[in-house]
Structure 1
Amino acid sequence: MNVKISRNAAKVLKLELEKEENQGLLVRVQVSHNHGDHAHYALGLDTQTDKDVVVSTDKEIDVLLEKDEPLLDGIRIDYFYVPQEGFMITNPSKGNHGDH
């Protein structure tokens, strides 16, 4: 499994992970809605279960993914400040470029 995190997203995620109430938690990305050939994604903080794989990234952030979900392999986590501040998760390797 492969996960890419942009510099902006890494900054925001690290600030969140450093909070005292989030100690011991990891970033989790999951499929929130599946359209067959592409998906919508949800992001949160969670603990690992036996259904997860932990993916290390080049930004020194570990990400939890459901190990049997192919639409999670190759995701990219971005964070934008404009036009609306927030995270955007896409999977260019599966044809999802955040176009809707």
Structure 2
Amino acid sequence: MNCKINRLAAKALKEMLEKNEAAKDKMIRVYVTHMHGDHAHYDLKFDTPTEHDEVVKTDKGIDIILDSRDEFLDGVWIQYFQVPKEEFVITNPSKHHHHHH
């Protein structure tokens, strides 16, 4: 499975993992919150890998958990923007799906 992440998203996620008590001994999981038609919505949460997960090492030094059974997670791109507002944007260019978080 593949996952891309931009520099700002990696920085923001590392800070979340370091500063949030709920993140102790956990990693970041990207998951599909719901689907309607051919459109998927994604979100992030702190979690630990399970038997069906793949831990994807990004080129920005942060590992992301993806459920290997969900084809809509393969190829996700996690971005973080500060303008016009601070937010994560998770897209899957290969599936043309996205969600703002």
TM-score by length of 1: 0.89
Query: Bigger CA drift: 37-46 or 70-79?
Result: 37-46
The structure-2 alpha-carbon separation of the partners of 1:32 and 1:20, relative to structure 1 and needing over 3 Å to count, comes to closer
Q: CA deviation at 1:33?
A: 1.2
Query: Bigger CA drift: 89-98 or 59-68?
Result: 89-98
Corresponding pairs, count: 99
Aligned Cα RMSD in Å?
A: 1.8
- C-alpha separation in 1, matches of 2:32 and 2:20: 27
Q: CA deviation at 1:82?
A: 1.6
Specify every segment of 5 or more residues in structure 2 that has no aligned partner in the other structure, as ranges.
Answer: none
Query: Bigger CA drift: 15-24 or 74-83?
Result: 15-24
Percent identical: 56
The structure-2 alpha-carbon separation of the partners of 1:29 and 1:97, relative to structure 1 and needing over 3 Å to count, comes to closer
Query: Bigger CA drift: 12-21 or 74-83?
Result: 12-21
1:1-100 matched pairs, under 5 angstroms: 1-19=1-19, 21=21, 22-96=23-97
TM-score by length of 2: 0.88
Q: CA deviation at 1:98?
A: 5.5
- C-alpha separation in 2, matches of 1:26 and 1:95: 26
